[in-house]
A and B are shown apart, each in its own frame.
Chain A
Amino acid sequence: MEVHLEHLTKRWGKVVAVDDLNLEIRSGEFVALLGPSGCGKTTTLLMIAGIYKPTSGYIRFDGRVVNKVPPKDRNVGMVFQSYALYPHMTVYENLTFPLKLKKVPEEEQRRKARRIAEMMGIGHLLDRYPAQLSGGQQQRVALGRALIKEPALLLFDEPLSNLDARLRLTMRAEIKRLQMELGITSIYVTHDQVEAMTLADRIAVMREGRLQAFATPEELYERPRTLFVAGFIGNPPMNFTQVEVIQQDGQYLAVNPDMRLAVDPDRGSRAAGRGRVIMGIRPEHITLARDGEPAHLEAEVYLVEPLGRDDLINARVGKETHLHFLADPALKLRIGDRVRLRVDTSRVQFFDPETEQSLLWS
């Protein structure tokens, strides 16, 4: 099912939870709504589900405006962060509740419940009550309950955030597999950019009720259009420093009192002559220069945060420019060590400090 949001707005008194949101979701697409907590993701989802009425704007399912259609007639399934299972019903009763309301014959209910339970790996739990299940099992039941009525649209509201890290990985993979198998159009709300990047075909980044970007994960990663998107997508987050880009001897140099970095002319040319701009470099595009290799920057290790597979190094360039990058823990970098850094200057980003818009992509 295609879902179109047009100028969708929701106000709570003076608070604007969702502000003029425009989104076109294709049939069968998996879209993530990504943004920090409180930016209006849940509100958007609940409007699509029919729980909240939009203050203004339209929601279209396959072209039809559904603003006034009650939730039960929208044919959507939803998975909540809190699971929202019915505590007084067994797993079986939870699963078949949507079917019962549709007056599906008992025999068919049983068959479908068994199939869904099989698919979700909860076949042995059908007689239990939700309180007797672990968080992961509850989430599977909730997912099964959303799937059993074969909805045209699946909504997820941070379904994994109450699970422990390990389980989150498993469930994430499972949701991805299920969605690909079933091909149901899905909208997945999360504040976790890794989740959004791994699951979604396209990501809608929201901030304070407004849509910041709507693009594929690669696009958001390689060509972020705003400073916010650049900082929000990617882990560890992008490094930002104020520089001025000048042209010298046919080269473009990003200059501030702490450093002079020759950058890719394609990119540098768009930032040159604009006075102060913000330069962004992803940590993964900074590497240690091997012996004999020329370095772009010299720095001093300021802080070392072991992440397990990598060490996250906070290095100080000059007096007050800090850059994060990842280093092999085997190198045993210590605070105060001098390091020589190479930067993949063909992948640096530039932003206007006033408008926070990208100077490269628009």
Chain B
Amino acid sequence: MDEGALRTGLRPRQMYFLMFLMTLLTLPIVVGYLWIFISTFSRRTHGLIPVDIEGRPFRGLTLENWSFLWQDPNIWKVTLNSLILALGLTVGVVLISAMAGYALSRIRFPGRKGFLALTLILHAFPSVTLLISIYFVLRWLARIPVVGRGLPLIGGIGYNTLGGVILVMVSLQLPLGIWLMKGFFDQIPWDVERAALIDGASRFLVWRKILLPQIKPGIAALSIFTFIAGWNEFLIPYTYMTQQEKSTIATYINSLLSETAPVNYSQVAAVGLFQLLPVLLFFVFTQEYLLSIFSGGMKGGA
């Protein structure tokens, strides 16, 4: 990072000006988050200032908006579900992408080019347009005995199960994952792989022991991306699971936005913050890996 700053060739003054400009531009977002934070602990707010019922400023602080944590058992169910969804998605996407990416990077087989082009198109394809056809697929999967809707933890892989949602999301995330992994494999010199083959490794062992360790940063970055995508996903669980307040955190929030009763926005904000916290923490600790996906690099290596 520091080197990057040095290499921009900017003088300190220009640097400060740019910083100022960026601060100005991000201010609305920062204020938005600040508001969410403050309002979750307040009865009401005037702008960023908490007020009580009579409108006196800096009064009316409360934990009431967070009461869902101890009053609504559903929150823990949806949190667990979100966690399972995010983890399942991550494991599925990373595992398949790492294998497919290797094959596409290293093995010449008929249809390789076509497959690459197709995955790229699939990645660009808006998933919304697939919702209805996927619905029929999931309905059909649900009819498979046991696997359809009789599995522990994820329910199954059919309609109205967490596993079904994971399945759909894995396939939607795969094109990007495969391309990323292929890119990382492409950067490893052939000779290292050849050396390992000559040293006595099988193709699988080469993948497992020589190549995977070298693209660790890529795998970490893809894992983090995928985990966050799964944790935050709304559309797929909303579409394919029937009970919003029992599906994932995102649908749980949506279920709070009832159209008939008045909406307690402070509570919505609190749940939103609850959902955001792990992501924020996660991001703070892993941003270096995330950046490596953009620079596409394994700088330094071991």
Contacts and interface: CB of A to CB of B under 8 A. Distances in A.
B194 A87 contact: no
Contacts of A85: 192, 195
A86 B196 contact: yes
B300 interface: yes
A123 interface: no
A8 interface: no
Interface stretch (A69-77, A179-187, A242-250): A69-77
B27 interface: no
B199 A145 contact: yes
A98 B199 contact: yes
A80 B193 CA distance: 11
B197 interface: yes
A80 B302 contact: no
Task: Specify the main secondary structure of chain B where it touches its partner.
Answer: helix
A10 to B, nearest CB: 15
A51 B197 contact: yes
Interface residues of A, number: 29
Interface string A141-170: 000010001000000000000000000000
Contact of A131 (B197, B213, B216, B300): B300
A49 B191 CA distance: 12
A50 interface: yes
A130 interface: yes
B236 interface: no
Nearest to A49: B198
B197 A84 contact: no
Interface string B180-216: 0000000001011011111111100100001001101
A87 B300 CA distance: 10
B185 to A, nearest CB: 15
Given A88-B214, A131-B301, A72 B194 contact: no
Given A77-B198, A131-B300, A84 B191 contact: yes
Interface string B264-302: 000000000000000000000000000000000000111
B192 A84 contact: yes
A46 B300 CA distance: 29
Nearest to B213: A88
Interface residues of B, number: 20
A102 interface: yes
Contact of A72 (B202, B300, B302): B202
Contacts of B192: 84-87
A85 B301 CA distance: 12
Nearest to B188: A87
A85 B199 CA distance: 11
Given A88-B214, A131-B301, A71 B197 contact: yes
A97 B202 CA distance: 13
Contacts of A72: 197-202
Interface string A92-104: 0000011001100
A102 B202 CA distance: 12
B210 to A, nearest CB: 6
A88 B301 contact: yes
B200 A129 contact: no
A149 B300 CA distance: 30
Given A129-B302, A130-B302, A131-B302, A84 B201 contact: no
B195 A84 contact: yes
A78 interface: yes
B302 A88 contact: yes
A272 B215 CA distance: 67
A85 B195 CA distance: 8
A131 to B, nearest CB: 6
A82 interface: yes
A87 B197 contact: no
Contacts of B213: 88
Interface string A31-57: 000000000000000100111000000
B198 A78 contact: yes
Given A88-B214, A131-B301, A131-B302, A101 B205 contact: yes
Contact of A86 (B194, B197, B198, B210): B210
Contacts of A102: 200
A207 B70 CA distance: 80
Contacts of B191: 80-82, 84
Contacts of B189: 82, 84
- Kindly list the 10 A-B residue pairs having the minimum CB-CB distance in the complex, ordered from nearest: A84-B191, A101-B200, A84-B195, A98-B199, A72-B200, A88-B213, A129-B302, A71-B197, A87-B301, A80-B191
26 contacts: A46-B194, A50-B197, A50-B198, A51-B194, A71-B197, A71-B198, A72-B197, A72-B198, A72-B200, A74-B198, A76-B198, A84-B191, A84-B195, A85-B192, A85-B195, A86-B192, A86-B196, A87-B192, A87-B301, A88-B302, A97-B196, A97-B199, A98-B199, A101-B199, A101-B205, A131-B300
Interface of A: 46, 49-51, 70-72, 74, 76-78, 80-82, 84-89, 97-98, 101-102, 129-131, 145, 149
Interface of B: 189, 191-192, 194-202, 205, 210, 213-214, 216, 300-302
Given A76-B198, A101-B205, 15 more contacts: A46-B194, A49-B194, A50-B197, A51-B198, A78-B195, A78-B198, A84-B194, A84-B195, A86-B195, A87-B192, A88-B214, A88-B216, A88-B301, A89-B302, A97-B196
